Amino acid sequence: KAGVTQTPRYLIKTRGQQVTLSCSPISGHRSVSWYQQTPGQGLQFLFEYFSETQRNKGNFPGRFSGRQFSNSRSEMNVSTLELGDSALYLCASSLTSGGPEETQYFGPGTRLLVL
Amino acid sequence: AQSVAQPEDQVNVAEGNPLTVKCTYSVSGNPYLFWYVQYPNRGLQFLLKYITGDNLVKGSYGFEAEFNKSQTSFHLKKPSALVSDSALYFCAVRGRAAGNKLTFGGGTRVLVKP
């Protein structure tokens, strides 16, 4: 079974631009979560989508948004990019949301560099 | 609020020696606990989890972890470390009412020397 895939793998943008990252979950998984990884702040939860609905949201500004499609694929969008948005963005999928047996499986990430 | 602490930024161990990576957590109610490993330029790989039951959890690649409720700890262990175990290890907690939100520790870099 194919794992979680993320596109693109690398991205360079300039301040003020916007960016869209894509995540395809493991087949059959309906929950997708997004995390930001930086050297300074570590791994931080952005949001979770389950059955096309945002279930949970982390403490990030409104410039960070996401959505999930009917096939469970998810996108996240960052508008008005800032230098501090440079990070590795990780997507994780699981079968459902919040159940005791749920394990999240991570994709390889998209590395975003903002110049 | 939930939180995780990994008190050691780096652990150095000789190949063949036991490896321990420490983790303590704080969460309301009973926790779900996880260990992940990250190799350079890669995402996170799941190693093992504690949900309920036996306090000793066995996972992938010979790793195991011991859940200690009184000490709110979930230390990762491997009896005999390999050079290929050199990587960044993350402990994470999920509260039972938090959906799939994982809160991670800061990570511990493990260096196994031949």
B32 neighbourhood in chain A, CB within 8 Å: 100, 102
Q: Average pLDDT for residues B34-54, to the nearest whole number?
A: 92
- pLDDT tops 80 at residue B22: yes
pLDDT at A44: 97
CB of B31 less than 8 A from some CB of A: no
Summarize pLDDT for A15-48 with one digit per residue, the tens: 999 999 999 999 999 999 999 999 999 999 999 9
State whether A4 and B103 contact (CB < 8 Å): no
In sequence order, the 6+-apart residues with CB closer than 8 A to the CB of A72 are: A25, A29, A30, A32, A93
How far does the CA of residue B14 sit from the closest CA of chain A (Å)? 26
Q: Residues, chain A, total?
A: 115
- pLDDT tops 90 at residue B33: yes
Nearest to B102 among A6, A45, A55 (CB): A45
Give the residue from chain B lying closest to A102, CA to CA.
B100
Contact A1, A69 (CB under 8 A): no
Most A CBs within 10 Å: which of B32, B88, B101, as the mutation test of the A interface?
A: B101
Q: Average pLDDT for residues B40-66, to the nearest whole number?
A: 92
B103 neighbourhood in chain A, CB within 8 Å: 45
